[in-house]
Structure 1
Amino acid sequence: MKLIEQPPTSKAPADMFTGDAWWDVIYRGEEPSRARANVVRFAPGARTAWHSHGLGQTLYIMEGLALIQSRGGQLIEAHPGDIVRTPPGEEHWHGAAPDRFMIHLALWESDETTWLEHVGDDEYEAARSGTRR
């Protein structure tokens, strides 16, 4: 057993996020492990760009109000304690509601993430008006 040294908090890069978001790497498995875990903190209105994960992703909402949408799908409002799973290869985005901070634990395997275009303000606002839980 060993205590794992944690890297410092990092600001999420502008090419992958709209608005202000920060992450802490909780775990990055060493081969043969492919496990990844980050805590991500989103300011109100902040969100990821469209992206997909080769082996899928699971989000555990820790605080605030999360907005999560798959390409062509209904927007999901997720609350603390909710768990949302996106399957391998599914294009999606996630972020905070416009009026709330949001924190989630992101779990995924491998570094096979494909980053796509940003979710524009018009797309974000349109998605929000169609919120379903």
Structure 2
Amino acid sequence: MEIVRAHADRLPSERRTAMFTGTVFADPLRSGPDVTVASVFFAPGARTHWHTHEKGQILLVTAGAGLVCSAGGDPQALRPGDTVWVPPGEAHWHGGAPDTYLVHLAVSLGQTAWRDPVADDDYLART
């Protein structure tokens, strides 16, 4: 068993830039080869690049409002209490709504494969 203590006992939040658009911060809670768990804050309009997860991903929305979108689909609204299951290998992105921040707990299973950014025009045209 492992107990991961609250943020106050940990290092400062990590600014995420390489595979994200906009202002994104994460508090990693658990990191390993099979599962990574992080609380992630997206400023309004901030989002991940397109990506896949080897064994899938679970998103638990805790605050704000946001969007999630699978390749070939339309963005879906996210609100506190929503849970998203992204199947293994499904290309997708997620992030804050255009005018509202988003906080979610991300449980990523297996390796993550990062792809291209979601273009501003595509993000704005689809919301």
TM value normalised by structure 2: 0.89
CA distance in 2 between partners of 1:88 and 1:3 (Å): 27
1:92-107 correspondence to structure 2 within 5 Å: 92-107=92-107
List, as ranges, runs of 4+ consecutive aligned residues in structure 1 with deviation greater than 2 Å.
1-8
Tell me which residue corresponds to 1:23: 26
Aligned Cα root-mean-square deviation (Å): 1.6
- The alignment of Structure 1 onto Structure 2 pairs a total of residues equal to 123
CA distance in 1, matches of 2:2, 2:105: 22
Query: Unaligned regions of 5+ residues in structure 2, if any?
Result: none
Identical columns (%)? 42
Whether 2:55 is the aligned partner of 1:55: answer yes
- Which sections of structure 1, spanning at least 5 residues, go unmatched? 129-133
Deviations along 1:41-80, one digit per CA (max 9) or x if unpaired, are: 0101000000000001010000011100000012110100
Q: Normalising to structure 1: TM-score of the pair?
A: 0.86
**Alpha-carbon deviations, 1:62-109, whole Å to 9, x = none?**
001110000001211010000011100000000001111110000122
In 2 relative to 1, CA 2–57 (structure 1 residues): closer, same or farther, beyond 3 Å? closer
Look up the SS of the partner of 2:73 in the other structure: coil
Aligned to 1:10: 14
